[in-house]
Amino acid sequence: MDISAFSVDASHLVFGAFATFCAILLWSRTREMSWTFLIIAVIVSYANIVLATLRGYGILGPEPEIVRGIPLLRILLADVPLLFSGVGFIVAFARRRTR
Q: Express each pLDDT in 39-78 by its tens digit.
A: 999 999 999 999 989 988 888 877 777 888 888 888 899 9
Q: Output the pTM of the full model.
A: 0.86
Q: How far apart are CA 48 and CA 5, in angstroms?
A: 17
Inter-residue contact 50 to 80 (CB < 8 Å):
no
Kindly provide the residue ranges of all beta strands, DSSP E only, lying in the chain, ordered along the sequence: 66-67, 70-71
